[in-house]
């Protein structure tokens, strides 16, 4: 553990609401009264009652995930609790403090803006950025996530529905104002959304110098053309990439696109059967940059130190890499960050 803790490294793929501490959630359930906040793409508060949230939390505590679809339900409970600006500020502070200086030198935290009660998407991001900016830029940056379930303006005219354009424009505007937005991410349930519709919007992200990372090929046989569409956004990094075809992998290698790898997440969501068959090996064998990340420490019961321990541990408990190989992985994480310099 000393060796791992002593390695300078960055965490680049951590979802804010997936990394909240369980203790904070139980504190929040006690404070809950009245309305709770909706999930991304929704404008109305969730209808979960306090008792339903408490039961949801208990299930989360003893959680076992049957498949990736099951996994996305977890967030309904968390959103029910992280439903005010005050709660959001508190959980953000906790997540930043849990990573920075303990588990990594630099954290690129990501989050999907939501409307909390009457507050706007901008206020959501301001609340998170106020916490991120308590740290120097060498320690923390924010990636703004768009959720695949969000609409695009042309298909979604109804009032209150959050659109991808709205979120991207906000990310760009806040960067222009000098706020610590370093990139944009595409996340959310991989079975939803038409990525072709996002193409025109994504071009804008690159123009203003924001980094772009996309969750890609997380499940087998995704919607036809999904992966090609996401690759056509020319991302600077990709998340997971578990089910890329041989041809798509060649593109990743040729363009030398760093791959954000989340070992426990893939094993627990059962998209990869075991470490021995994890695609991390493919990239390591080719000296292709990968970044080891946690994804969501809460449901996956992990930490960055635990993920690095999986690299070092001997098979079948880990990948059995040498210290030099693990050091190289840590170096990559700092080399391919969007901000922090
Ligand atoms: P938030 O963006 O609300 O801070 O963090 C939670 C959100 O991140 C979830 O609602 C989900 O959209 C996204 N997310 C977390 N983990 C994963 C993952 O493994 N795959 C994908 N595609 N999205 C994820």
Is 187 within 8 Å of 112 (Cβ atoms)? yes
In a domain, 73, yes or no: no
> Does the reported pTM lie above 0.90?
yes
Q: CA separation (Å) from 272 to 14, 67, 245?
A: 19, 11, 15
Angle in degrees, CA 98, 99, 104, rounded to 5: 150
Residue 45 CB neighbours (<10 A): 17
- Which of 70, 71, 166 is closest to 115 using CA atoms? 166
| Whole-number pLDDT of residue 311 | 98
Angle in degrees, CA 87, 91, 94, rounded to 5: 145
> Could you tell me the pLDDT band of residue 55, with boundaries at 50, 70 and 90?
confident
In a domain, 28, yes or no: no
Cβ of 248 below 6 Å from ligand 1:
no
Cβ of 265 below 6 Å from ligand 1:
yes
**Is the model's pLDDT at 310 over the cut of 70?**
yes
Distance 15 CA to ligand 1 centre (A): 6
In a domain, 322, yes or no: yes
Question: In 3-state terms, what secondary structure has residue 240?
Answer: strand
| Whole-number pLDDT of residue 44 | 39
How buried is residue 136: exposed, middle or buried, by Cβ count under 10 Å (0-12/13-18/19+)? Answer: exposed
In a domain, 34, yes or no: no
Task: Please state the ipTM of this predicted complex.
Answer: 0.99
In a domain, 326, yes or no: yes
Mean pLDDT of the chain: 91
Nearest CA to ligand 1 atom 9: 188
In a domain, 41, yes or no: no
**Is the model's pLDDT at 43 over the cut of 50?**
no
Choose which residue among 15, 114, 131, 267 to substitute to test ligand 1 binding: the one with the highest number of ligand atoms within 8 A of its C-beta: 15
Distance between CA atoms of residues 211 and 65, nearest Å: 31
Give me the percent of the chain exceeding a pLDDT of 90. 79
- Which of 75, 1, 66 is closest to 309 using CA atoms? 1
- Which of 67, 327, 112 is closest to 220 using CA atoms? 67
- Provide the domain count of the chain: 1
Cβ of 215 below 6 Å from ligand 1:
yes
- 189-216 average pLDDT score: 93
Q: What is the CATH number of the domain that holds 263?
A: 3.20.20.140
pLDDT digits (tens, 9 = 90+) for 215-255: 999 999 867 799 999 999 999 999 999 999 999 999 999 99
Of residues 69 and 41, more confidence is placed in 69
Nearest atom in ligand 1 to 189's CA: 22
| Whole-number pLDDT of residue 66 | 75
Distance 340 CA to ligand 1 centre (A): 23
Distance between CA atoms of residues 202 and 62, nearest Å: 39
Distance between CA atoms of residues 170 and 121, nearest Å: 8
Cβ of 226 below 6 Å from ligand 1:
no
In a domain, 193, yes or no: yes
Distance 101 CA to ligand 1 centre (A): 24
pLDDT digits (tens, 9 = 90+) for 123-135: 999 999 999 999 9
In a domain, 250, yes or no: yes
Nearest atom in ligand 1 to 296's CA: 16
What DSSP assignment string belongs to 243-270? T--HHHHHHHHHTT--EEE-HHHHHHTT
Domain region containing 283: 2-15+104-335
């Amino acid at each position: 553990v000393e060796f791992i803790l002593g390695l300078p490294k960055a965490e680049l793929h951590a979802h804010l609401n997936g990394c909240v501490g369980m203790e904070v959630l139980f504190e929040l359930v006690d404070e809950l009264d009245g309305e709770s906040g909706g999930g991304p793409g929704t404008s109305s508060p969730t209808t979960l009652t306090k008792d339903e949230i408490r039961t949801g939390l208990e299930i989360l505590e003893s959680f076992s995930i049957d498949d990736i679809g099951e996994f996305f339900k977890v967030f309904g409970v968390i959103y029910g609790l992280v439903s005010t600006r005050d709660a959001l500020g508190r959980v953000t502070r906790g997540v930043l403090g849990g990573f920075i200086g303990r588990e990594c030198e630099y954290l690129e935290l990501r989050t999907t803006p939501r409307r909390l009660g009457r507050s706007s998407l901008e206020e959501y991001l301001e609340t998170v950025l106020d916490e991120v900016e308590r740290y120097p830029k060498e320690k923390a940056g924010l990636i703004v996530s768009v959720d695949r379930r969000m609409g695009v303006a042309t298909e979604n005219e109804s009032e209150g529905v959050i659109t991808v354009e709205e979120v991207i424009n906000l990310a760009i505007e806040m960067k222009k104002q000098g706020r610590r937005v370093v990139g944009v991410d595409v996340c959310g349930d991989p079975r939803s959304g038409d990525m072709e519709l996002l193409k025109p919007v994504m071009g804008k992200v690159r123009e203003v110098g924001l980094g772009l990372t996309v969750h890609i090929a997380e499940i087998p046989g995704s919607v036809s053309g999904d992966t090609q569409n996401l690759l056509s956004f020319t991302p600077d990094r990709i998340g997971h990439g578990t089910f890329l075809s041989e041809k798509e992998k060649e593109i990743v290698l040729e363009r030398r696109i760093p791959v954000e790898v989340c070992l426990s997440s893939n094993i627990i969501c059962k998209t990869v059967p075991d470490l021995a068959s994890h695609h991390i090996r493919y990239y390591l064998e080719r000296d292709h940059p990968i970044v080891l990340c946690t994804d969501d420490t809460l449901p996956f019961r992990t930490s960055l130190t635990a993920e690095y321990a999986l690299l070092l541990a001997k098979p079948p408990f880990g990948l059995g890499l040498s210290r030099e190989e693990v050091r190289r992985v840590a170096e990559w994480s700092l080399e391919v960050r969007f901000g922090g310099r």
